[in-house]
Chains A and B, each alone.
Chain A
Amino acid sequence: MADLRAYGALIGGQFRSIASYRVSFLVEMSSNAMTTALDITTVLVLFGANRSVAGFSLAEALLVASLSSLGFALADMLVGNVDHLKTYVRSGLMDVILVRPLGSLWQLLCMDLPFRKALRVVLALVVLGVAIHLNDVDWTPGRVALLVLSPLAGLVFFGAIFVLSASLAFWWVDSGELGSAFTYGGRDFTSYPVPVYAGWFRAVFAYALGFGFVAYQPALALLGRTDPLGLPAWAGYLSPLVALVAAVVAALVWRAGVRHYRSTGS
Chain B
Amino acid sequence: MDRLDAREGVVTFGALARSGFRRWSTYRQATIAGAFTNVVFGFLRCYVILAVAAATAGGLAAGYDAEQLATYVWVGQGLITVVGMWGWTELADRIRTGEVAADLLRPVPPVVSYLAADLGRFGHAMLTRFVPPMVVGAIFFPLYVPHRAGTIPLFLVSVVLGTLVSFAGRFLVNATAYWLHDARGPIGLWTLASGVLAGLYFPLRLLPDWAAVLLYAALPFAGMLQIPADVLTERDGPALQAGLVAVQAVWAAGLLFACARVQKRAESKLVVQGG
A136 at the interface (CB under 8 A from B): no
Point out the residues of chain B lying under 8 angstroms from A54, CB to CB.
Answer: 51, 54-55
Do residues B44 and A185 form an inter-chain contact, with CB atoms below 8 A? yes
Point out the residues of chain A lying under 8 angstroms from B34, CB to CB.
Answer: 176-178
Point out the residues of chain A lying under 8 angstroms from B54, CB to CB.
Answer: 53-54
Taking the closest CB of chain B, its distance from the CB of A103, in whole angstroms, is 28
**Stretch from B35-43, B90-98, B118-126 at the A interface:** B35-43
Using a Cβ–Cβ cut-off of 8 Å, how many residues does chain B contribute to the interface with A?
A: 35
Say whether chain A's binding surface is mostly helix, strand, loop, or mixed: helix
Provided the pairs A24-B185, A175-B29, A180-B37 are in contact, do residues A49 and B52 lie with their beta carbons within 8 angstroms? yes
CA distance A182 to B40 in the complex (A): 9
Q: Mark B11-53, 1 if CB is under 8 A from A, else 0.
A: 0000000000000000101110110110011011101110110
CA distance A47 to B53 in the complex (A): 10
The contact of A181 among B41, B47, B61, B189, by CB within 8 Å, is B41
A148 at the interface (CB under 8 A from B): no
A34 at the interface (CB under 8 A from B): yes
Provided the pairs A38-B201, A181-B40, A188-B44 are in contact, do residues A196 and B206 lie with their beta carbons within 8 angstroms? no
A52 at the interface (CB under 8 A from B): yes
B196 at the interface (CB under 8 A from A): yes
Do residues A46 and B188 form an inter-chain contact, with CB atoms below 8 A? no
CA distance A89 to B136 in the complex (A): 32
Do residues A31 and B192 form an inter-chain contact, with CB atoms below 8 A? yes
Provided the pairs A54-B55, A175-B33, A177-B34 are in contact, do residues A41 and B47 lie with their beta carbons within 8 angstroms? no
CA distance A185 to B40 in the complex (A): 7
Do residues A46 and B195 form an inter-chain contact, with CB atoms below 8 A? no
Closest to A35 in B: B192
Do residues B202 and A181 form an inter-chain contact, with CB atoms below 8 A? no
Q: Mark A29-64, 1 if CB is under 8 A from B, else 0.
A: 001001100100110011101111110000000000
Number of A-B contacts (CB under 8 A): 99
Do residues B40 and A24 form an inter-chain contact, with CB atoms below 8 A? no
B56 at the interface (CB under 8 A from A): yes
Say whether chain B's binding surface is mostly helix, strand, loop, or mixed: helix
CA distance A182 to B47 in the complex (A): 17
Within 8 A of B (CB), among A49-81: 49-54
Q: Mark B196-210, 1 if CB is under 8 A from A, else 0.
A: 100001100011000
Point out the residues of chain A lying under 8 angstroms from B185, CB to CB.
Answer: 24, 27-28, 31
Taking the closest CB of chain A, its distance from the CB of B39, in whole angstroms, is 8
Provided the pairs A177-B33, A178-B37, A185-B40 are in contact, do residues A196 and B56 lie with their beta carbons within 8 angstroms? no
Do residues A177 and B52 form an inter-chain contact, with CB atoms below 8 A? no
Point out the residues of chain B lying under 8 angstroms from A42, CB to CB.
Answer: 196, 201-202
Do residues A50 and B55 form an inter-chain contact, with CB atoms below 8 A? yes
Using a Cβ–Cβ cut-off of 8 Å, how many residues does chain A contribute to the interface with B?
A: 37
A254 at the interface (CB under 8 A from B): no
CA distance A195 to B29 in the complex (A): 34
Do residues B51 and A45 form an inter-chain contact, with CB atoms below 8 A? no
CA distance A88 to B44 in the complex (A): 31
Closest to A178 in B: B33
The contact of A174 among B33, B55, B62, B189, by CB within 8 Å, is B33
Closest to A201 in B: B43
Do residues A50 and B196 form an inter-chain contact, with CB atoms below 8 A? no
Provided the pairs A31-B189, A176-B29 are in contact, do residues A185 and B41 lie with their beta carbons within 8 angstroms? yes
Taking the closest CB of chain B, its distance from the CB of A186, in whole angstroms, is 10
What would be 24 A-B contacts, judged by CB atoms less than 8 Å apart? Answer: A24-B182, A27-B185, A38-B192, A42-B201, A42-B202, A46-B49, A46-B52, A46-B202, A47-B52, A49-B52, A50-B52, A50-B55, A52-B55, A54-B55, A174-B27, A175-B30, A175-B33, A176-B30, A176-B33, A181-B37, A195-B51, A196-B47, A196-B51, A197-B48
User: Closest 4 interchain pairs by CB?
Assistant: A176-B30, A178-B33, A174-B29, A176-B33
B residues apposed to A, CB below 8 Å: 27, 29-31, 33-34, 36-37, 40-41, 43-45, 47-49, 51-52, 54-56, 61-62, 182, 184-185, 188-189, 192, 195-196, 201-202, 206-207
Beyond the given A45-B207, A51-B55, please list 10 additional residue pairs across the A-B interface where CB-CB is below 8 A.
A24-B182, A24-B185, A27-B184, A28-B185, A38-B196, A50-B56, A53-B54, A174-B29, A178-B34, A189-B44
